A and B are shown apart, each in its own frame.
Chain A
Amino acid sequence: MDRTHRESDLERTVLGPLRKTSMQFWLVIAVLGGLVLMGAVLLGRQWTTGLGVTGLKRPIYWGVYISNFVFFIGISHAGTLISAILRVTQAEWRRPITRIAEAITFFALILGALQLWIDLGRPDRILFLFFFGRFQSPLLWDVTCVTLYLLSSTLYLYLPMIPDLARLRDRMTDAPRWRRRIYTVMAAGWHGSHEQHRRLERGISIMAVLIIPIAVSVHTVVSWIFGMTMQPMWHSTILGPYFVVGAIFSGIAMLFIFMTIVRRAWHLERWIKAKQYDYLGILLLVMSAFWGYFTLSEYLTTGYSSLINEVQVLLAKIQGEYAPWFCAMVFCNLILPFAILIRRKGRTPTGAFIVAVGVAIGMWIERYTIIAPSLTRPALMARFAIYTPTFTEVGLTIASLALFALLFLLFFKLFPAISVWEVEEGQAVAAARQKAEELLRQGQLEPTLPTP
C-alpha cells in the first residue's frame, strides 16, 4: 500500500467529512431519527388498527400516501437527468454533482416503493404482487418498471463509485474495522489498470444511455395508474408526458436542495461552484416553463369543453376548496422560479435553494391536486366528498422525508459526496485542453480542424 501518498486538495476536502464528524451532524441525525421513530409508531398503529386512521374514505380511496409515492418517484429523476443526460452529452460541469444526484435517485426510489406499501390495506400480502401478478393491471407495470429502475440505478450509482471505493480502501487506513471492510468488499478488488478504467467508462456509458428510457418509462407508468381509469381529469393522454416533465422538474429541485446542504455542511464550496448553480438554474427554469405549458394545455382543454364531470373537477381546483392549493402550486412552480432564477444574479446558492424548496413543495401539491380533487367528484356521486388528511398521514409524510434525508446523510458520511476520480479526470481534461491551446497559440501545434 502506498503510504507515502500526499493527498491532493480535492481529496482532503472530500474525504475530510468522512474522517471527522461534528456534534451538529449527530444532532441533525438524532432529530431525523426521532422523526423516523415517530413515523414507525404511526405506521405500527395503522397496521394494527387499519387504514381507518387515515382521512381516506369512499370515494377518496387514494390520498396523501399515493401523492407521496408519485412525489418520491418523481424526485428520483434527479439522478437520471443530471447524471445520465449530462454524461451522454459530455457536459463537463456535471462532474462534482453526479454522485449526489445518483444517490437521490436511489434513496427516493426506495422511499417511493415504501409509500405504496404504507398505502396497502394488507401490507402482509405485498408479495402477492409477484406471486399472482396480473400484467393487465397498470399497477404491475409500475412494479416492473420501478424494480427495473431500482436495479439499474443501483448499478449506475455503484459503477462510478468503484474507483473511489478503492481509494477509500487504500487511504482510510485509520478508519474503524467495519468501515474498512465495507470499502474493501465494495471496491471488489479494483486495481485501476488502464484496461479496467476503459471497461468501467464503457459500462457507465451503457448504463447512462440505458437508464434514460427506463426512467421515462417509470414515470409514464406511474401516471398511467391514473390515466387508465375513467375518472374525470385523469383519463387523459397528456398525463404521461406531464408526469415525466414534473418528475424531472422536481428532481432538479431536490438536487439543488441536497447539493446545497452537502456543499455547506461538507465544506465543498470550492468544488460545487457558481457554474453548477448557474447551469442547473437555467435547466430548472426550462423545466418550469415546460411544466407551465403542460399545465396550461391540460387545464385549458378541459375548461373549454362542457363535459360536466371534467369541468366540475376543474372548478374544484380553480375556485372550489382546492383553489388555495392550486394557487400555491402555480406560485411555487411558475412564479417563484421565474422571479428569482431569470437573472444571473438570482442563480446563486441561496436563490437556487429558496426556489428549489418552493418547487419541491409546489410539485408535491401538484401531485396532490391531481389525485384528490378527481376522487372527490367522481362521475356518479350524489354528493361531493371532502377529504381531510389526518395526523397519521401528515406524520408519515414528514417521517418519510426525514428517513430520506437520514439515509442520504448517513450514506455521505460513509462515502465521498463528490466523485473524486471523475473530478480529477475533469481537471486533467481541462489541463490538457489548456496546454493544447497554448501550444496552438505559439504555433507549435497544427490545428486538425480548419479554422473558420
Chain B
Amino acid sequence: MPRWGMVIDLDKCFACQSCTVACRMENNTPVAGPDQTARGRAILWNEVLPFIEGEYPKVHVQLIPRPCQMCDNPPCIHVCPVKATYKTDEGIILVDYKRCIGCRFCAVACPYQVRYFNWYVPEWPAALKAHLNPDPEVQPRPRGVIEKCTFCIQRLRKAREKAEAEGRPFTATDYVPACVQTCTGHARYFGDLDDPNSLVHQLAHSPRAFRLLEEMGTQPKVYYLKQG
C-alpha cells in the first residue's frame, strides 16, 4: 500500500502562487473576497507563507508553500470529539463534512494552521460558479464545518478508476495532486514514500530534506528541500 508524500524543493519555488490557484479550482474552495480575506477568513488549502526575518537592510524572506503536512502522528485527529477527521490507510487525512460539528478543536490543535473553517455559506462570483469542479469529493462544503487539503483525493480515485478501465495495475505515478501538476518551477514532487525507488523517497532522504516543526513529533509526510 502506498504512503503518499510530497517533497517541495525551495530552491526551485519562486512563489508564483500557481499551486494556490490550481488548488482552488480543483477543490472548489470558496472566494472570501478582499474584505473577509483581510479579516483572516480566506480558505487556502495550499498557502505560500512568507517568513520575513531581520530588518531592513538585512532582510531575509523565506517563502514556504504549505499544503496539509499529512502527519503520520496527526494532532488534529487525536482531539476530534466525533471522529469527523480521520486518516486513510494510505496516510491521507480527510474530514467528513457530514460528521463535523464545527468545534474547531482540530484547527486549534494543528500546529501548521492547515485547517480552515467555513464562517459563512461558501460563495463564488457567477463566472467562477459556472466552472466548479463536479467531482463528488469536492462538492461545496456546508457552513460551519472544517475543511482542508486532501492531496486531491478525488484525483486518486479517478486515477484508480482509469487504471482499472484500461485493464492495468494502478501505480503510484498515475496520480498527482493539482498543485504538483501545475507547479511552474517543477518544485513539487509527489509519490509513494515507502517505495525505495520512488523519487520522493530518495529526495526525502536527501541531506537537504527537512520537515516543518519536526521537533513536535507530528511526523509530516511533506518534506522540504533547503534553499541554497
Docked pose: A375 CA to B81 CA in angstroms: 20
Q: Which of B116-124, B162-170, B185-193, B195-203 contacts A (4 or more CB under 8 A)?
A: B116-124
A-B contact count (CB 8 A): 131
Does B82 belong to the interface (CB within 8 Å)?
yes
Instruction: Enumerate chain A residues within 8 angstroms of B116, measured Cβ to Cβ.
Output: 58
Q: Which of B14-22, B99-107, B130-138 contacts A (4 or more CB under 8 A)?
A: B99-107
Distance (whole angstroms) from the CB of A142 to the closest CB of chain B: 9
Q: When the two chains form their complex, are residues B81 and A137 in contact, meaning their CB atoms are under 8 A apart? A: yes
Interface residues in A220-264 by Cβ distance below 8 A to B read: 225, 228-231
Q: When the two chains form their complex, are residues A229 and B75 in contact, meaning their CB atoms are under 8 A apart? A: yes
Q: When the two chains form their complex, are residues B113 and A381 in contact, meaning their CB atoms are under 8 A apart? A: yes
Instruction: Enumerate chain A residues within 8 angstroms of B92, measured Cβ to Cβ.
Output: none
A contact patch SS: loop
Residue in contact with B81 in the complex, picked from A49, A51, A129, A379, CB distance below 8 Å? A129
Q: When the two chains form their complex, are residues A121 and B82 in contact, meaning their CB atoms are under 8 A apart? A: no
Interface string of A117-134 (1 = CB under 8 A from B): 001111001101100111
Docked pose: A57 CA to B78 CA in angstroms: 22
Q: Which residue of B lies closest to A141 (CB)?
A: B81
Report the count of interface residues on A (CB-CB < 8 A). 41
Size range of the interface on B?
A: 35 or more
Distance (whole angstroms) from the CB of B45 to the closest CB of chain A: 12
Residue in contact with A52 in the complex, picked from B41, B103, B105, B107, CB distance below 8 Å? B41
Residue in contact with B144 in the complex, picked from A57, A121, A138, CB distance below 8 Å? A121
Contact (A50, B143) CB under 8 Å given A231-B108, A379-B216, A380-B113: yes
Does B49 belong to the interface (CB within 8 Å)?
yes
Q: When the two chains form their complex, are residues A382 and B49 in contact, meaning their CB atoms are under 8 A apart? A: yes
Docked pose: A225 CA to B143 CA in angstroms: 24
Does A143 belong to the interface (CB within 8 Å)?
yes
Q: When the two chains form their complex, are residues B104 and A62 in contact, meaning their CB atoms are under 8 A apart? A: yes
User: Which residues of B are at the interface with A, using a C-beta cutoff of 8 A?
Assistant: 36, 39-42, 49-52, 75, 78-84, 99-105, 107-109, 111-113, 116-121, 142-146, 212-213, 216
6 A-B pairs besides A51-B102, A125-B100 with CB distance below 8 A are A52-B36, A58-B42, A62-B108, A121-B143, A128-B82, A134-B82
Task: Report 9 cross-chain contacts, Cβ distance below 8 Å, ordered by A residue.
Answer: A57-B119, A62-B104, A143-B81, A229-B109, A231-B111, A378-B113, A380-B49, A382-B49, A382-B52
